[in-house]
Amino acid sequence: MKPSIEAAVAEAVSALYDTEVSVFLTRPEEQFGDYATNVALQLAKPLGKNPREVADEIADRLQESLSDQIKTIAVAGPGFLNITLTDTALTTALSSQPEQPLSGKTVLAEYSDPNPFKPLHAGHLYTTLVGDTIARLMETAGANVTRISYGGDVGLHVGKAMWSINKFTQDEPAVLETVPVGERPTWLGERYVEGNNAYEDDETSKAEIIAVNKKVYELHNTNDHETPFAQIYWTCRTWSYEYFDQLYAELQVHPFDRTIPESEIAPLGLETVKAQQANGIYEESEGAIVFKGEDYGLHTRVFINSQGLPTYETKDVGLILTKWQDYNFDRSIVITASEQAQYMAVMLKSVEQFEPEPALRTTHLTHGMVKLQGGAKMSSRKGNIVSALDILSAAAAANLEQTGKESPETVLGAVKYAFLKNRLGGDIVYDPLESVSLEGNSGPYLQYAHARARSILRKRDSATVPIENADFTEGERTLVRKITEYSETVDKAISELLPHYICTYLYELAQTFNRFYEHNRVIDDEREVLRLALVETYADTLKNGLVVLGIHAPEEM
């Protein structure tokens, strides 16, 4: 409905003034109509006319051309057009679906990106959940989405962990069997912390870790799976990936289509940076190879260190080129913590100099820190992190305290919604008790709202009939109006890659329904047939929104 009215306004302007204009309708408060536009104010100065005069002329033209859709057009203030739809038009808008601007396009969504051999912290949980939702948004927009997770199975962090692991195993792979299965992820995290502390505090250990780091790269270069060191490495890497898969299943997120380890793409990155050094893109500096970002308003970063090893930057060069070669994507979305914003900007700018298409088609989204209520910023290097499991455990404990029940679906809905309702980019302070509350702006509140609507529908005697030729009461119209905002909200969330718009809308929708149900009898009312149809449409809309967010919509609670 919105696009057709915007087109009609543009056509009216073209017919009246022989000029092209971009029309954008907004949703005013209900008392002012269903849509509003300031197009008359945009046109007034170029036309040399009073904006109210322009608004009156456009209103007359629209009222004539859209008499079956527009009930009234009011000119307000200095020249705003407030448009109120007919009940027939509102009924038609109930069946509106989100647009599909990416129909047939190939979109890559890279998120989660946990590193093997390291603890999985709350930031990884956040990017997993928000990335899953953004991938769902892209699919709603018609895209063919490939979900990718990327992680560092080589690099200094692995060297630190393997140094500590080898102290434990003494180069005997069988010793790993003494680590209980359920404790392996935590144990690996502890080994990383031990190695990191040794690296920072003791020069002898630091030198040993640097040597171990080179040894890890070498086992990949030689495809070594036989030596004791290699057997220990591959076993521990497998432990990490098995844990990640288990966690993804528990989170009920869409499985990743591909996990790309750094070892797979590091050689291509290294080869490319060396080749482009000859072309002047990268250059030598104090024994390392760098990209001088200052020439582009950025900063210089090292791509190959003085030991000849690729840095994260070079590995990401290999990653973006691998994505481009394997998928020839129309768009690639990468989600990381905000601290990587400048790093990614430099890396992408360097790639843009010799392979512009994949760089320009890549969108980098960032998120802030995730903290527990009352917690301080923590570090995985020191071992005092807020882990993904800490967040989930806190939610489960809060839900048990509040309801006396263990409800995995409710806990998941609580955590997902608590993360997604915040605008992407800022820090998040997670409050477990607030997140599981059945009152206020929470996932469980919306889950309960859906279950409540379904319970009303279970009381009906026959199947719901379609809404046709409706003449809505004030309360019915308010609910219908809010339901029709769904597709527009999803369109906006897709356009701006911001899932919180959907959260805000669903909360407002549930509140609107609660007010409707409080003042309008449904069962055993003379308008029962129509109102049951409205309840069903509301419940379906609420469910559709929750599904996009990756949240289960229960039939009962």
pLDDT in tens, 78-132: 999 999 999 999 999 999 999 999 999 999 999 999 999 987 889 999 999 999 9
Within-domain flag for 346: no
CATH code of the domain containing 444: 1.10.730.10
The pLDDT of 303-331, averaged and rounded, is: 96
Regarding whether 177 and 60 lie in a shared domain, the answer is no
CATH code of the domain containing 39: 3.30.1360.70
Q: Does residue 1 surpass a pLDDT of 70?
A: yes
The per-residue pLDDT for 224 is 97
Q: Does residue 379 surpass a pLDDT of 70?
A: no
**Number of structural domains in the chain:** 3
The HSE-up count of residue 38 (CA atoms within 13 Å, CB side) is 7
Q: How far apart are CA 94 and CA 371, in angstroms?
A: 40
Within-domain flag for 492: yes
The per-residue pLDDT for 386 is 82
The per-residue pLDDT for 384 is 55
The per-residue pLDDT for 373 is 82
Regarding whether 403 and 533 lie in a shared domain, the answer is yes
Regarding whether 498 and 412 lie in a shared domain, the answer is yes
Closest by alpha carbon to 424, among 358, 511, 490, 364? 364
Within-domain flag for 161: yes
pLDDT in tens, 467-523: 888 899 999 999 999 999 999 999 999 999 999 999 999 999 999 999 999 999 999
pLDDT in tens, 140-167: 999 999 999 999 999 999 999 999 999 9
Note the pTM of the prediction, 2 decimals.
0.93
Within-domain flag for 336: no
* Structural domain range at position 450: 391-548
Strand partners, 363: 333
Regarding whether 528 and 414 lie in a shared domain, the answer is yes
Are 243 and 184 a contacting pair, CB within 8 Å? yes
Measured in Å, how far apart are the chain's first and last C-alpha atoms? 35
Q: Does residue 376 surpass a pLDDT of 50?
A: no
Are 148 and 109 a contacting pair, CB within 8 Å? yes
The per-residue pLDDT for 121 is 86
The pLDDT of 226-248, averaged and rounded, is: 96
Within-domain flag for 126: no
Q: Mark which of 206, 228, 250 sits at the end of a domain.
A: 250
Regarding whether 158 and 16 lie in a shared domain, the answer is no
Q: Does residue 383 surpass a pLDDT of 60?
A: no
The per-residue pLDDT for 381 is 44
Within-domain flag for 220: yes
Q: Does residue 349 surpass a pLDDT of 80?
A: yes
Regarding whether 206 and 65 lie in a shared domain, the answer is no
pLDDT in tens, 411-425: 999 999 999 999 999
Q: Give start and end residues of each alpha helix (H) in 33-153.
A: 39-47, 51-65, 87-93, 122-140
Q: Mark which of 200, 228, 250 sits at the end of a domain.
A: 250
Q: Does residue 313 surpass a pLDDT of 60?
A: yes
Q: Does residue 357 surpass a pLDDT of 70?
A: yes
Are 79 and 51 a contacting pair, CB within 8 Å? yes
Within-domain flag for 61: yes
What confidence tier does 375 reach under pLDDT thresholds 50, 70, 90? Answer: low
Within-domain flag for 176: yes
Regarding whether 400 and 520 lie in a shared domain, the answer is yes
Those residues with Cβ within 8 angstroms of residue 115's Cβ, 6 or more apart along the chain or in another chain: 151, 152, 153, 155, 157, 158
Q: Mark which of 63, 85, 107 sits at the end of a domain.
A: 85
The pLDDT of 175-197, averaged and rounded, is: 94
Which range (18-27, 32-41, 42-51, 372-381) has the least confidence?
A: 372-381
CA distance readout (Å), 472 to 86, 468, 476: 10, 11, 6
What is the number of helices (H) and of strands (E) in the chain? 21, 13
The per-residue pLDDT for 378 is 40
The per-residue pLDDT for 374 is 66
The per-residue pLDDT for 282 is 98
What confidence tier does 382 reach under pLDDT thresholds 50, 70, 90? Answer: very low
